Amino acid sequence: MNPLIPTVEDLAADAVTHHYDDMIAPTGLTNMLGTVRVDHDLTALSAVQFPPVSQGLTQTAVLFVDGRLFASYGVAVTHEWRPDRVVRRATVGELEIETTTVCVPGRTAVAIDIAVRNTGATDREVRIGLSAAARVTRSADAWLDAESPSERDTATVDGECLVFASADAAAWSVQGLTGGSAALSGVAELPDAFDTGIGGNGRGGELSAVLTVPAGAVSRTAYVQALGLSRDDAARTYALVSADVPAALSAAQEFWNRQLRAAFDPADTEFSGALPLLDTASEPLRRLYWWAVLGVIWFRRDFAGNVLGRSYDTLMPNYWGTTTFIWDYSLSSVSHALLDPDEMRAQVRHWISLDIHSHFGTSSLTGGPVGRWYSVNDYAMTRLVHDYVRFTGDVAFLDEIVGDQTVARSVREWATNWKELRRDTALADYGEIDNLLECVSSYTHEVASLNAANVWSMRTAADLAALQGDETAAAELRAEAEALLPAVIERYLPGTGIFAAGQPDGTLLPVRHCYDFSIVGTTIADDLAPGVRDDMVAFFQRELQTDNWMRALSPWDPDASYSPRPDHQWNGAYPAWPADAGRALAALGAPEVLTAWVEGLSRTANQGPMGQAHFVDEAVPGINGGARKAPPQLPYIIDWACSSSGAWIELVIEALFGVSVAADGTVRAAGCVAALDPHAVLRGLRVGERAYDIDAAGGITRTPGR
> What tens digit of pLDDT does each residue of 679-694 get?
999 999 999 999 999 9
Nearest partner of 151 among 120, 124, 190, 114, judged by Cα = 190
Sequence-separated (6 or more) residues with CB below 8 Å from residue 578: 549, 550, 601
Is residue 390 within 8 Å of 397, Cβ to Cβ?
A: no
Q: What is the pLDDT of residue 126?
A: 96
Confidence class of residue 190 from pLDDT cuts 50, 70 and 90? Answer: low
User: Residue 496 above 50 pLDDT?
Assistant: yes
Nearest partner of 448 among 423, 434, 425, 428, judged by Cα = 428
Beta bridge partners of 410: none
Of all residues in the chain, the percent with pLDDT exceeding 90 is 93
Q: Is 215 helix (H, G, I), strand (E, B) or coil?
A: coil
Global pTM? Answer: 0.95
Nearest partner of 289 among 647, 658, 628, judged by Cα = 647
Q: What is the pLDDT of residue 431?
A: 94
Confidence class of residue 140 from pLDDT cuts 50, 70 and 90? Answer: confident
Query: How far lies 516's CA from each of 241, 387, 450, 587, 590, in Å?
Result: 50, 22, 8, 14, 17
Is residue 440 within 8 Å of 362, Cβ to Cβ?
A: no
Handedness of CA 421, 423, 428, 431 (dihedral sign): negative
Of all residues in the chain, the percent with pLDDT exceeding 70 is 97
Between helix 283-297 and helix 245-262 the angle, nearest 10°, is 110
Is residue 597 within 8 Å of 545, Cβ to Cβ?
A: yes
562-599 per-position pLDDT tens digit? 999 999 999 999 999 999 999 999 999 999 999 999 99
Q: What is the pLDDT of residue 194?
A: 46
User: Residue 195 above 80 pLDDT?
Assistant: no
User: Residue 193 above 70 pLDDT?
Assistant: no
More confident residue, 425 or 706: 425
Between helix 591-602 and helix 283-297 the angle, nearest 10°, is 70
393-424 per-position pLDDT tens digit? 999 999 999 999 999 999 999 999 999 999 99
359-370 per-position pLDDT tens digit? 999 999 999 999
* Average of per-residue pLDDT across 289-303: 97
Q: What is the pLDDT of residue 196?
A: 47
81-113 per-position pLDDT tens digit? 999 999 999 999 999 999 999 999 999 999 999
Work out the mean pLDDT of the chain and round it to a whole number: 95
Q: Is 695 helix (H, G, I), strand (E, B) or coil?
A: strand
Work out whether strand 172-177 and strand 218-228 pair parallel, antiparallel, or are unpaired: antiparallel
Q: What angle do CA 695, 698, 700 make, to 5 degrees?
A: 70
